[in-house]
Amino acid sequence: MIVGTGIDIVAVDRIRRLYERHGQRALRHLLTPTEQQTLAAGGDPAARLAGRFAAKEAVMKALGTGWGEGVNFTQIEIVNDSRGAPQVRLSGNAAVHCAASGGRRWHLSISHCRDMAVAQAILEA
Residue of 22, 29, 56, 61 with catalytic role: 61
Contact 107/121 with Cβ under 8 angstroms? yes
Is residue 56 part of the annotated active site? The answer reads no
Which residue(s) pair with 7 in the sheet? Answer: 120
Q: Can you tell me the distance from the alpha carbon of 56 to that of 19, in angstroms, rounded to the nearest whole number?
A: 16
Contacts by 72-76, CB closer than 8 A, 24 or more apart:
73/29, 73/30, 73/31, 74/29, 74/30, 74/31, 74/32
Residue of 29, 56, 97, 112 with catalytic role: 112
Is residue 22 part of the annotated active site? The answer reads no
Cβ neighbours of residue 25 closer than 8 Å, sequence gap 6 or more: none
**Active centre residues (catalytic):** 61, 112
